[in-house]
């Protein structure tokens, strides 16, 4: 039975997941190596809950109660009594392996461990723990409080009770689970990123301009955002790294990252976060860069 949750990493995803768990009624410990990041996360969560109150989706008392359920800590030992750890630290395999190895020394023997990784093999991370059968992927989408889906990924050793517990929790948090096997990029990114990469090839080969490609997919395929606009939103460095994971992990040339994507990343044109990508965001309205 999952009652108390530990979240490792309080960045963009960790703070969003903490907000979701706290509004879902769970006590939680938000752990990070950086005290500064934890301070920032508290503000982000409070701001997120405040927006829900402003929209009438949450009352003031529920906001106060949710915030009271969150304890922040830079001490690993604070995870000693949690039933589930959701790891949402930096996307780096060495960092995550080290986290899981040390988490195992402080948590209860029967605590479940989950990772929010977007691309690292769940089975490989499970091997860094003393309990691969109690380990799985729990992949929230960004932003976690808004997006409905959570991908649930079994490692090769994940046992049924672990999978069932995390699935039940996902539903209790008001999310919809989709089960995925442990293959590179799971389901959403496996399908979405090659589509974006293809849009960049379409631009690279001169089939259409940035504007015509995005207009075509918005109005012709009913996508809420054009693929190049979406790429800028995700971050072009992230898009490239997912394509590299697919290309290397599946050894198939159909996942070859478009050279134009590589060039934008090399230029430091990473999309919205650097104010320039397929669009230039430095003015009033975004202007296509090609
Ligand atoms: P982020 O950089 O915003 O946050 C990472 C946090 O981890 C930072 O606060 C950092 O201080 C902390 N951290 C680093 N080393 C640590 C350690 N040893 N112990 C504890 N905390 C540590 O990253 P993010 O965007 O929130 O991504 C986190 C995870 O979620 C990654 O695995 C990423 O692939 C995954 N993810 C990201 C997105 C996204 O769109 N950003 C979507 C889904 C999943």
Q: Give per-residue pLDDT as tens, 41-92.
A: 999 999 999 999 999 999 999 999 999 999 999 999 999 999 999 999 998 9
267, 224 Cβ separation under 8 angstroms: no
Q: How confident is the model at residue 230 (pLDDT cuts 50, 70, 90)?
A: very high
Phi/psi-derived region of residue 82, left when phi > 0, alpha when psi is between -120 and 50, beta in every other case? beta
Report the b/e string of 252-275 with b at 16+ CB within 10 A.
eeebebbebbeebbeeebbbbebe
Q: How far is the CA of 98 from the centre of ligand 1 (A)?
A: 14
Active site residues: 118, 139, 151, 189
Helix 227-234 × helix 236-250 angle, to 10°:
100
CATH of the domain at 63: 3.40.50.720
pLDDT tens, position by position, 85-118 = 999 999 899 999 999 999 999 999 999 999 999 9
Among 7, 13, 95, 239, which is best to mutate for testing ligand 1, by the most ligand atoms less than 8 A from CB?
13
Give the pair of three-digit tokens for residue 113: 């461990």
Dihedral angle computed from the Cα positions of residues 3, 7, 10 and 16, in that order, rounded to the nearest 10 degrees: -50
**What's the total number of domains in the chain?**
2
Q: Which residues line ligand 1 (CB under 6 A)?
A: 8-14, 32-34, 37, 88-91, 95, 99, 116-118, 140, 142
Residues 110 and 19 in one domain: yes
> Tokens 């994971």 sit at which residue?
245
Please tell me the distance from the alpha carbon of residue 119 to that of residue 103, in angstroms, as a whole number.
21
CA nearest ligand 1 atom 36, residue: 118
Q: What is the model's pLDDT at position 89?
A: 97
Whether residues 167 and 104 fall in one domain: yes
CA nearest neighbour of 38 among 66, 59, 65, 8: 8
Domain boundary among 133, 164, 180: 180
Containing structural domain, residue 209: 188-288
List the one residue out of 4, 70, 82 whose CA is nearest residue 43.
70
Span 140-184, pLDDT tens digits: 999 999 999 999 999 999 999 999 999 999 999 999 999 999 999
- What's the pTM? 0.93
């Amino acid at each position: 039975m999952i009652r108390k949750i530990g979240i490792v990493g309080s960045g963009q995803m960790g703070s969003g997941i903490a907000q979701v768990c706290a509004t879902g009624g769970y006590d939680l410990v938000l752990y990070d190596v950086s005290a500064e990041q934890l301070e920032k996360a508290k503000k982000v969560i409070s701001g997120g809950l405040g927006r829900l109150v402003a929209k009438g989706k949450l009352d003031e008392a529920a906001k106060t109660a949710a915030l009271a359920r969150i304890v922040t800590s830079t001490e690993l030992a604070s995870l000693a009594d949690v039933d589930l750890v959701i790891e949402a630290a930096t996307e780096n395999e060495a960092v995550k392996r080290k986290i899981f190895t040390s988490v195992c020394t402080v948590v209860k023997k029967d605590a479940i461990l989950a990772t929010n990784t977007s691309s690292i093999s769940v089975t490989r991370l499970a091997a860094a723990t003393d309990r691969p059968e109690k380990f799985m992927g729990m992949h929230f989408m960004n932003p976690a409080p808004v997006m409905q889906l959570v991908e649930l990924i079994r490692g090769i050793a994940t046992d049924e009770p672990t999978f069932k517990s995390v699935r039940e929790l996902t539903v209790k948090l008001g999310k919809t689970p989709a089960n995925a096997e442990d293959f590179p990029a799971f389901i959403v990114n496996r399908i979405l990123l090659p589509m974006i990469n293809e849009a960049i090839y379409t631009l690279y080969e001169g089939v259409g301009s940035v504007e015509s490609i995005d207009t075509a997919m918005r109005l012709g395929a009913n996508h809420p955002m054009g693929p190049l606009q979406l790429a800028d939103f995700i971050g072009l460095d992230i898009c490239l790294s997912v394509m590299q994971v697919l290309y290397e992990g599946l050894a198939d040339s159909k996942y070859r990252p478009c050279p134009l994507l590589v060039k934008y990343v090399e230029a430091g044109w990473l999309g919205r976060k650097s104010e320039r990508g397929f669009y230039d965001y430095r003015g009033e309205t975004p202007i296509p860069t090609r």
